[in-house]
Amino acid sequence: MRARDLLHPRPEGLYCPPGDFFIDPVRPVDRALITHGHSDHARSGHRSVLATQQTLDIMGLRYGEHFADTTQAARLGETIALNGVSVSFHPAGHVLGSAQIAVEHQGTRIVASGDYKRQKDATCRPFEPIRCDVFITEATFGLPVFRHPPDTEEIARLLKSAAQFPERSHLVGAYALGKAQRVMRLLRDAGYDRPIYIHGALARLSEYYQGQGIDLGTLEPATVEGGKDDFAGAIVVGPPSAFADRWARRFPDPISCFASGWMRIRQRAKQGGVELPLIISDHADWDELTGTIKETGAEEIWVTHGREEALVRWCELEGIAARPLHLVGYEDEGD
């Protein structure tokens, strides 16, 4: 069967006609298969949701228990038949619970990666390359300028700054699902054993990570009790949105830090008032994107959400058929 008859874009999202399901739909549908818990991929209001147990749990934490009429947990590697179409979930290395979805029918296999990365991350299972005919790749950082340094180096810069300025607090902006927990875990792996202070928006997800066996050490709420001095020398983690509001003003002479792949662009850090940009991304950089495309052995690449053109061009130069998918509605919260 032709690949585009097996999966193709619709306004609701990527649709499989023979299986009658959508992958990461942006509007409510009857049957949704969901790659991971970031809010642009995992929305509430579908009739039924098939996802990994961790993604289902994360959706429950974010949207409340009744985010869908029915749910089904997909075990990694297990094949599930949906109207004669075989689907299976495989680790994507993006955030806890994240999965690629393989869709196979009449000898054609397409893998929808969702968001993914190849850098080691102690807070989720590593990406597994799956052989396929068509690989659907994200392209958030799909330009050769994007090369992420080792995350350990970035965390070492944060710890160095914290040691240099013991009277100041370090406010680290990090997305609530995935990035925040990864930053905390990296601090622990680097030997930082003081309490880490967290914004309330991170509490439940961080607690969930800890419950799933990802040790984040002692986390304390970043609330003022004894006055500003409480946070002298502290590392405080919060969602980027919190840094613009009153919450951020309670900390003594704070150094503003932001953990994101976008911090590679100096201008962007400057405009956002970020003093200490940390290039830590949960998305594949250029080398990871191109390396992964080759590893899948796919004859055809569909490129979505991000900078499609450069990656499509790279594929063509490599003799791999490629086209942009033009899915709408994805603005990843976890870059």
Q: In the complex, which residues of this chain contact Zn ion (CB under 5 A)? A: 38, 115, 332, 334
Interatomic CA distance for residues 110 and 133, integer angstroms: 6
Kindly state the smallest distance separating residue 220's Cβ from Zn ion, in Å: 27
Indicate left, alpha or beta for 153 from its phi (over 0: left) and psi (-120 to 50: alpha). Answer: alpha
Q: 264 and 146 in contact (C-beta within 8 Å)?
A: yes
Least distance (Å) from Zn ion to the CB of residue 331?
10
Identify which of residues 247 and 330 has a Cβ nearer to Zn ion in the complex: 330
Contact criterion met (CB below 8 Å) for 133 and 164: no
Residue type for position 115: D
Nearer to Zn ion, 40 or 133 (CB): 40
The least CB distance from residue 114 to Zn ion, in Å, is 7
Q: How far lies 70's CA from each of 13, 24, 32, in Å?
A: 20, 16, 11
| Residue 55 structure tokens | 């993604």
Residue number with CB closer to Zn ion (286 or 330) = 330
What is the closest distance, in whole angstroms, from the C-beta atom of residue 175 to Zn ion in the complex?
9
Q: Name the minimum Å distance from CB 49 to Zn ion.
A: 16
Q: Which is nearer to Zn ion, 115 or 308 (CB)?
A: 115
Considering beta carbons, is residue 276 or 327 the nearer one to Zn ion?
327
Which neighbouring-strand residues pair with 70? 48
When the beta carbons of 38 and 148 are compared against Zn ion, the nearer one is 38
Where would I find the beta strands (DSSP E) of the chain?
A: 8-10, 13-16, 21-23, 31-33, 46-51, 68-73, 79-82, 85-91, 99-105, 108-112, 134-139, 170-173, 196-198, 219-221, 235-238, 255-259, 276-278, 300-306, 321-324
CB of 258 to Zn ion, least distance (A): 17
Q: Which residues contact 295 (CB under 8 A, 6 or more apart)?
A: 129
